[in-house]
Every structure is written in structure tokens, then in C-alpha cells.
Structure 1
């Protein structure tokens, strides 16, 4: 083969290799541009397509992502004249999407899609449900030993945010059905519902990014755990704690404060889920309502337990306890027993937010038992706790925390 022919082959080979390299770079660039929107490419949204027809697809996908956030659920709208609502059971990390007005049972598992950043999960949940910890034990035991650590760490930050879901139908009449899509989630979220033609979106937002202030209220004991028994055996602590909380809820329902309750009825709630709720929601305040008791009938008065080994800075558990004690001791007939370091109590030990356990009186003392069983006194205690919450939040907000 001549020298000229060899040179032509070399030039042709060089040009071919350069073309391949340039094509590879272009493909890689396009893949990089589209990778952040892969979730939207697989589940094409309709939210902005009708509003911004002049924009290209990637721009509308970015707007959709900004609107919904990193984690959300997409369900294909099974009809045209349906109504939707979302309810939550945050103590169990569960939400329910209710769809009314269905003409038939036409919603399938494959139409339930979950998105976490750029990962998409469709159909039945494949991952194993995360282990749940929680034991019904006396609340004065140490947080160590056989008690497992609160919460769990997901294997991947981009894991499916749904641990499982079910679809259940109810026939309302001859023409309509109702569907309840029940989700078990990996964390406590603030669900935000978006209704758009062709799609239903449920954004899974962090509560602390939705609400300015968050308070977690706990009525101690409940269900199979009765708490302390009254001196005359006429009642148990769990009932009085709950009555005070229910009165308090009526007051706080009128306020612009997001409140999570560990229980609002006589049910068994284990210790870990109580403190987990405060930690996962990044609550500003965590208050637990209790009644005290003693083997002797002589002790009386109010005391507040707090976390003494607080390391987070800012508004502390001790500060919350001091505000609480000032309000509670003002209730007629109560003796001030002061502040008590309660670091050995599980819900205090594990709390990562300002926490105070309120011992509002002794069931073992005849006079205080009479007060605690009085509806008027229970309402007074509820009002005092509402003031504790307002004063504490004012202090937190004024400090810019």
C-alpha cells in the first residue's frame, strides 16, 4: 500500500474517532441534563403543561419539582368529577387519600407512583417494612438496657418514602364508589394535596418547613397502661391526663399553632413513638402531662421534670420547665415542688427538642385528688398549659430560632 493511501486512511480514522468522541460528549451532556428530571420523564406530569405551553418540557418539570419538593405521591386521576381529601395518623406515620365520585373500581397498584428526588417507585412496595421499636414499660426506667434506640436510619436517602399501601373501595350507591388509598410512610410528613387534570399529587413535606411553630402534646399513659391509681381507687392517672389534654385541645384549636397529639383517646401508645413524634417533627416544644403519686398520702404539689444535660443550645428544656412551673404553681391550692432533672426518664432522655414533663398533682393526696377530679380544676390546668405554650413560643420566635 502506498504512502499516500496510508496517510488518507490515517486522516479518515482520526476524523472518525473525533466524531465518535464528540458524539459521546453530546450524549453524556444530554444524559446529565435529563438525569435530574428522570423521575418526570418516566411519569409525565400535567401540572404545568396546560399553563405553560410555550415552555419546553424540562422547564415545566423543574417548576413541578419546585412545587412538590423532593418526595411526593402521584396517582392517575381515575375520573373527571371526583373530589379528594387527605387525612393523617401521624402517630403511626400513616396517611389516607380518599377519592369520592368513582364510577367503578378502576384504580390499580401500578397507578400509585412514589417519587424521592430522581428515583421513581411504581406499583407494590418491594422493600421490607422498617422495624418498629417500642415497649410498654414504666416511664421511670432508664432509657438504656433492653430499650432500642429511637427511630431508624433508612438504607438510602433516596429510598421509597412509602413502606406499604392498600386500596379499598366502598360502594356509596348504585352509581358511585369511594376509594381509600392508605399509605404507611417511613417518616412523619405534612401531606399537601394538589388536584390537577389527569393527576393527583400528594407532596410529602417536612412539617418544620410548612409550619412556623410545632408543639407535641402527650397525655401520659393510656390504654393498657393505666398509670398511677388514685388514693381511693376511684380513677387512674391516664384518665385525668387525657381530660386535661382534651380541654387543652379545645383551646389550641383556636390558635395558629400546629399541634401534634400522641393520643386523644384512651389508647395504648408506646414510649418510643411518643418521643419519636417530637423528634421527627422537629417540634419547638414537647410537653407531657402526668399526675404524681407516692406511697405516702402526705406529698402534694406540682413539679416539672426537664432534661438537664441539654447540649443543643438556644431555648432549653430547663427554660421551658421554668416557664411551666411559674404558671402551674399559680393555680390555687398547689404547692411548688420545684424543678427536677429527669434525664433517666425515657421520653426526656431521648428528646432532641425542648421537653418538660408536668406533674400536675398527687393522686395519693386526698385534697389534691379531689382537685384533680374536679372539671373546673382540670380546665384551669389546661388553660395554664396553653399559657406555657404561648409564652415559650413567643420567647422562641422573638429570639429568631
Structure 2
């Protein structure tokens, strides 16, 4: 074969190879654009997937709006295999959400979203949110007859309902974490928990709209405030009050009544927070348990204090006190000292709900001290107060309040 022929074959071969390469690039390029399995298509699909995912928790919240109401908290990406529990510390306006079954420490401030009347708050709480100017001040509101939007005064209606929150973790084992999210709120709420598609929703309900019956029970004194001392120095009032309340709690735990307790231990609780709890929850009844005392050892018997200056409804504080006195005198068999207007007492004066303060007997009288220190008597008193609560709730309902 001649030299010229060889050159022609080489040129033809080169052109053929070049054509094949161009065709391959063209076909490959078309595949990258139109093949759904191509990298471009995958990137496009991922974009839309993340876009839809970012909307998911809000769209789900919109679907749950009837259950969630106007105020709620969202914890994003909590995981489909996690378990949740929520605990309240209503005296401090706090709730704690515990999440178990997390594979990693993936919950950050950015995963915590709060919603109030359509206004959304994400991440850390703004420093402005902790200023007192826009907050409900129960001590002032309680002493007036004015009404205000639940949780805040009018100038801050759409503010963040969360004052602060913290996130902490505990490693349960190599593959599992437990997260604890602690919220400090602007008000006492009834938290209701929902879970949907790995997102947690905590509805912040107004207690009076979440529960049919609300009772606030107060064991007088406590902690640094011992109350009256027994005539023989054997005990203080705070201890007897608490024992009666805990016996009462045991009874009421089995009833369909939402009960808020100002204390369930030997804690120092000031007067304003006690009455504030009753007012903020719009309790149906507010009962405070006390023991009486006198400089003389002669006085004895049961008396019940009430608010005489009443304009809050047809079921009055005096009516509640009357029901309490009738029941209590039957249990103790002691002297009936009657009803006493107690408007000068702070928790009675500031109460905007039916209130009664029950003096169950005198620690300064030896016979009554013996009665009050008896565990059987304390249980009997608790049982009597449980009857008072049921009767009063029924009469209040019949009164249309």
C-alpha cells in the first residue's frame, strides 16, 4: 500500500474517532439534562425536597390549628422514633419537655419555633422579650377589675410567649440521647402535646378553656414561714397544713378535676404568687388550708374566712365559705365559730375567684392540737374538704357561673 493511501486511512480514522467522541459528549450532555437519574436532576429533586421539608412543620401546624389554637411551640426534627413527656412547674410558669430516643444531639435553638397569633419566632429569645413593660403583672391586675388579653397586656399581644429556654442532653448509651428542653413562659398555660411527622407541637392553652373544673389548693405558710407554733412546741402550722393537703391530693388525683397546688412540699411561697395562680388560671374555687392560734389557750373551734366585697358572679366567696363551714363542723365535732369576712388578708382581698380560707382548729388549744396531730383526723379533714369541693363545683354550675 502506498504512502498516500496510508495517510488517507490515518486521516479517516482520526476523523471517525473525533466524531465518535463528539457524539458521546452530546449524548452524555443530553442525558445530564433529561435523565431523571442524572446528577443535575438529583440536585434539582433534592432542592425541591428540602424546600418542601422546610415548609412541612408550618403546613402541619396549619392543619392542626383547631387543636393548637393561637399560641404554640414547635420542636422541629425531633425524630419519628422518639418518645416525649412534658412536666409543669406552674408556680414558676415553667414547662419541661423530655425527648428520648434521639440518635444524635441534633436539636439546636434554630429547631425551636414559637407562634403567637400567626407571628412566628425562631431561635434564641430576643432580649427585648424579657423586659417587664409588656408583661402581665398579676399583682396589679389581680387588685383591679380590669380584663386583659390572656398572657400579656395589650401593647404586647403578639409577643413571644416564651421568655427563655435551654436545651440539655444526656447520653443514655452509644446510640441514644435524651434531650431536655426547659421553657420559661409568660403565663400559666395548660400545655397539650401533639406529634406529627417527627415534629413536636406544644399547644399553650388557656387553663379555663382546657379544663372543665379548676381548683387551686393552698397549704398555708411553708419553708421559712412556719406559721403558728403548737402550744407544746411540738410542731408548726405549716406541717399540719401540708399533711392535710397531701391527703386531699391523694383523694382528688382520682377525680376529673384539674387541681393546682401552691406547694406540695416544705417550700417558701409568697402570698402574691398564691393568689396569682388562682387568678391567672381563672379557677372555679380557691381554698386555703390553715390552723388557728391565740395567745390564750381557751379559744377553739373552726371558722372560715371569705371575701365580702364580691362582684365577680352569682356564686360568691361567702357561699363557698358557707359550704366549707357546714361540712367541716360535721367532721370535727368542734365549736362552730362561723363565717368571718377576711378582706384584709392579701390572698382574699386580691382574689378574683371564689375564695375561702379554712381555719381547721387552734394549735394553741391542747385538745384541738391533739385532734389536729392525729393522722386519722387529718385524713378526715381532707375527706371533708374534698366533699366541699364537689358540692361547691356543683352549686357554682347550677348558679350559671
TM range (shorter): 0.7 to 0.9
Are 1:247 and 2:284 counterparts?
A: no
Q: Distance in 2 between matches of 1:373 and 1:353?
A: 31
Partner residue of 2:221? 221
Q: What's the offset of the Cα at 1:199? A: 1.4
Determine the structure 1 residue equivalent to 2:84.
84
Deviations for 1:119-168, whole angstroms, at most 9, x for unmatched residues? 11111111343559899xxxxxxx99xxxxxx974741111100100001
Q: Is the 8 A contact 1:115 1:160 kept in 2?
A: yes
- Superposed counterparts of 1:27-42, under 5 Å: none
SS in 1 for 2:55: coil
**Residue 104 (structure 1) aligns with:** 104
| Separation of aligned partners in 2, 1:298 and 1:154 | 53
> What runs of 5+ residues in structure 1 fail to find an aligned partner?
1-40, 50-59, 136-142, 145-150
Cross-structure match for 1:363 = 363
Note closer, same or farther for the CA distance 1:42–1:195 as it changes in structure 2 (3 Å cut): closer
Q: Is the alpha carbon distance of 1:270 and 1:43 closer, same or farther for their aligned partners in structure 2, counting shifts above 3 Å?
A: farther
Per-residue Cα deviation, 1:30-84 (whole angstroms, up to 9, x for no partner): xxxxxxxxxxx997344876xxxxxxxxxx83x4322210000011123231111
* Distance in structure 2 (CA, Å) of the matches to 1:290 and 1:43: 55
- After TM superposition, give the deviation of residue 358 of structure 1 in Å: 0.4
Which deviates further from its counterpart, 257-266 or 79-88?
79-88
In structure 2, how many angstroms separate the alpha carbons of the residues matched to 1:392 and 1:296?
Answer: 34
Q: Distance in 2 between matches of 1:169 and 1:46?
A: 23
More helix by share: 2
Q: Is the 8 A contact 2:129 2:159 kept in 1?
A: no
Is the Cα–Cα contact under 8 Å of residues 306 and 341 in structure 1 kept in the other structure?
A: yes
- Looking at structure 2, the residues matched to 43 and 393 of structure 1 have their Cα atoms a distance apart, in angstroms, of 47
Q: Measured at CA, do residues 363 and 152 of structure 1 come closer, stay the same or move farther in structure 2, by a change above 3 Å?
A: farther
SS at the partner of 1:77?
A: coil
- 1:133–1:377 distance in 2 versus 1, CA, 3 Å: farther
TM-fit CA distance, 1:397: 1.8
User: TM-score scaled by structure 2?
Assistant: 0.80
RMSD, aligned α-carbons: 2.3
Q: 2:32 is matched with which residue?
A: none
Quickly say closer, same or farther: Cα 1:79–1:307, change in 2 above 3 A.
Answer: same
Question: Contact 1:130–1:163 at 8 Å: present in 2 too?
Answer: no
Q: Which residue of 1 aligns with 2:66?
A: 66
Q: What residue in structure 2 maps to residue 394 of structure 1?
A: 394
Partner of 2:350: 350
Structure 2 vs 1, CA of residues 156 and 133 (structure 1 numbering), >3 Å: closer, same or farther? closer
Secondary structure of the structure 1 residue equivalent to 2:332: coil
User: Using the alignment, how far apart are the partners of 2:116 and 2:351 within structure 1?
Assistant: 28
Residues 200 and 134 of structure 1: CA distance in aligned 2, closer, same or farther (over 3 Å): closer
**What's the counterpart of residue 273 of structure 1?**
273
Cα deviations by residue, 1:219-246 (Å, 9 ceiling, x for unpaired): 0011111111110110000000000000
**Structure 2 residue 55 is matched with structure 1 residue 44:** yes
The Cα of 1:85 is off from its aligned counterpart by 1.2
- Find runs of 4+ consecutive structure 1 residues off by over 3 angstroms: 45-49, 130-135, 151-155
How far residue 314 of structure 1 moved from its aligned partner, in angstroms, is 1.5
TM-score, with length taken from structure 1? 0.80
Retained in 2: the 8 A contact 1:301–1:362? yes
For the residue of structure 2 that corresponds to 1:369, the secondary structure is: helix
In structure 2, distance between residues paired with 1:154 and 1:251? 40
Deviation at 1:302, TM superposition (A): 0.5
Is 1:332 the counterpart of 2:343 in the alignment?
no
Asked whether the equivalents of residues 290 and 358 of structure 1 are also in contact (C-alpha less than 8 Å), the reply is: yes
Please say if residues 79 and 199 of structure 2, whose CA atoms lie closer than 8 Å, have aligned partners that are also in contact. Answer: no
- The match for 1:373 is 373
1:193 — aligned with what? 193
Relative to structure 1, the CA distance from residue 257 to residue 78 in structure 2 (aligned partners, 3 Å threshold; closer, same or farther) is closer
Partner Cα distance (2:56, 2:399) in 1: 42
* SS of structure 1 residue aligned to 2:319: helix
Larger radius of gyration: 2
Structure 1 contact 133–272 (Cα < 8 Å) conserved: no
Distance 1:108-1:47 versus aligned 2 partners, 3 A rule? closer
In 1, are the aligned partners of 2:152 and 2:186 still within 8 Å (CA)? no
Q: Distance in 1 between matches of 2:224 and 2:357?
A: 21
